Amino acid sequence: MLQHAMNGRKAFEVTLYNKDVRAAVKDNQSHVIYGDHWADAQIQDVMASDEVEALNLIDMRYPREEGFVVQKLSEC
């Protein structure tokens, strides 16, 4: 992410995958909704005031209830 922090917001890099997709791919299947690439870790950038907000933003976009797992969160 090529952005500077502004208005107290910082850049965070979030690494996540989908455990349900990972299980399906392991069984040579595909998930009904999400593509096979979600079996591997994906990186998403988020602008947030702190780690808690960053995780909340990620959870809204990639809900845990749908199998998404945050593997790593780091401030850029």
Task: Dig out the tokens for 17 from the structure.
Answer: 């995958």
Check if the beta carbon of residue 45 is closer than 8 Å to that of residue 11. Answer: yes
Domains of the chain: 10-75 (3.30.1280)
Please report, as a single letter, which amino acid is at residue 22.
R
Helix segments in 1-76, DSSP class H: 19-26, 51-61
Stated pTM of the model: 0.87
Per-residue tens of pLDDT for the chain, all 76 residues: 445 556 789 999 999 999 999 999 999 999 999 999 999 999 999 999 999 999 999 999 999 999 999 999 999 8
